[in-house]
A and B are shown apart, each in its own frame.
Chain A
């Protein structure tokens, strides 16, 4: 069953996940280039992106973001390809992971670092959008089989 709502949710996921992917990729590239990220909107990009919270066991957290968004992107392409409900369902079930991670990082920026990095906020917005889309899908599509 592909209702109108499903189509819109799929389009939403397909549109938002590449944005998150590019955002995280940008931060990861900057990290490995050893460059500080300049802020144009917020203040404190260099504080956030060079803080100890930006690295997890030597791996930049942005790289986890890249993998997370890439997974969603791939699942959504697979969904467009095969139109299998299980695939979009799986993508939706993954979205809370990104959402919880974003909550954590927003918390770090707000309460620990008290500095904001626009690219990190961008990622928080995209992961929240993915989460909302995912939850809407799951709420409206109870497993029928």
Chain B
């Protein structure tokens, strides 16, 4: 091999090796590259019950888990649908709200999620949830969103100073991230995504909800009957369903 060719080979090989190593190091340092593949881990409703946001009766047989993004227009459209469902099934259905902020697309969504969590610390998560969705187009894409959110906190009669302090707390972002990752694990790819007792809802329309909920209620009824028939006096009729979350 000619000397100059050898030199070229070392130069290019060395350069690529060095660049490759640097990129590899960077990828490791920055927490790795997420390939975007999701594990189909079944949704565990009980694991994080202590800091879930639950609406409706705690002992409801059917739990809707919603993965949502405050800045997403379709999530806003889904709010009245879910409200209608909760009104339709006041004793048998409850709702859990989980954050799935699409941060690449929505600049203010992360802050909005943290704002709702900060309001939640003062017991007004759902109030803030409603205000955020109702006024979505006022703060979306607005760089002054933070001051708008502070005005909402004031309107909801929160302790604004505490609200601002809470917003500095990394724990809020961690809660949001926890929700987000649980969504990834459950196979959420967009918002809104609903689960009816852990089963992904295919058609998130009013009719779609009613069908899925009725099917689930029928299934629970069958389970109840079979346990009674088996002479176990229905001590735990919801063995196949999930335990209702107990806190918030």
Report how far A46 CA is from B176 CA in the complex, Å.
15
Report how far A102 CA is from B246 CA in the complex, Å.
53
Q: Which of A25, A31, A34, A77 is the one whose CB lies under 8 Å from B12? A: A77
Chain A, Cβ-Cβ closest to B35: A32
Which residues from chain A contact B107 at a C-beta distance below 8 Å?
A: 46-47, 50-52
Q: Which of B22, B104, B105, B106 is the one whose CB lies under 8 Å from A22? A: B22
Q: Answer yes or no: A11 CB below 8 A from chain B CBs.
A: no
Chain B, Cβ-Cβ closest to A23: B26
If the complex has contacts A46-B110, A77-B12, A114-B143, are A18 and B104 also in contact, measured as CB distance less than 8 A? no
If the complex has contacts A52-B107, A80-B11, A113-B143, are A33 and B22 also in contact, measured as CB distance less than 8 A? no
If the complex has contacts A25-B23, A29-B26, A115-B143, are A81 and B103 also in contact, measured as CB distance less than 8 A? no
What number of A residues sit within 8 Å (CB to CB) of B?
28
Which residues from chain B contact A114 at a C-beta distance below 8 Å?
A: 143
Q: Answer yes or no: B31 CB below 8 A from chain A CBs.
A: yes
CB distance from B90 to the nearest CB of A (A): 37
CB distance from B132 to the nearest CB of A (A): 18
Q: Answer yes or no: B15 CB below 8 A from chain A CBs.
A: yes
Q: Answer yes or no: B231 CB below 8 A from chain A CBs.
A: no
Chain B, Cβ-Cβ closest to A21: B19
Which applies to chain A's interface (DSSP): helix, strand, loop or mixed? helix
Q: Are B11 and A81 in contact (CB under 8 A)?
A: yes
Report how far A28 CA is from B23 CA in the complex, Å.
11
One digit per residue, 1 when the CB lies within 8 angstroms of any chain A CB and 0 when it does not, for chain B 79-121 equals: 0000000000000000000000001111100100000000000
Report how far A113 CA is from B108 CA in the complex, Å.
12
CB distance from B128 to the nearest CB of A (A): 20
Report how far A81 CA is from B14 CA in the complex, Å.
12
Q: Are A18 and B22 in contact (CB under 8 A)?
A: yes
What number of B residues sit within 8 Å (CB to CB) of A?
23
Q: Are B26 and A50 in contact (CB under 8 A)?
A: no
CB distance from A27 to the nearest CB of B (A): 9
Which residues from chain A contact B104 at a C-beta distance below 8 Å?
A: 31, 34, 50, 54-55
**Residues 66 to 100 of chain A near chain B (Cβ within 8 Å):** 73, 77, 80-82
Which residues from chain B contact A34 at a C-beta distance below 8 Å?
A: 34, 36, 103-104
Q: Are B143 and A81 in contact (CB under 8 A)?
A: no
CB distance from B21 to the nearest CB of A (A): 11
Q: Answer yes or no: A141 CB below 8 A from chain B CBs.
A: no
Report how far A34 CA is from B30 CA in the complex, Å.
12
If the complex has contacts A77-B15, A81-B11, are A32 and B34 also in contact, measured as CB distance less than 8 A? yes
Chain A residues packing against B (C-beta within 8 Å): 18, 21-22, 25-26, 29-36, 46-47, 50-52, 54-55, 73, 77, 80-82, 113-115
24 contacts between A and B (CB under 8 A): A22-B23, A25-B26, A26-B30, A31-B104, A32-B33, A32-B36, A33-B30, A33-B31, A33-B34, A34-B36, A34-B104, A35-B31, A36-B103, A36-B110, A46-B110, A47-B143, A50-B104, A50-B107, A50-B110, A52-B107, A73-B19, A81-B7, A81-B11, A115-B143
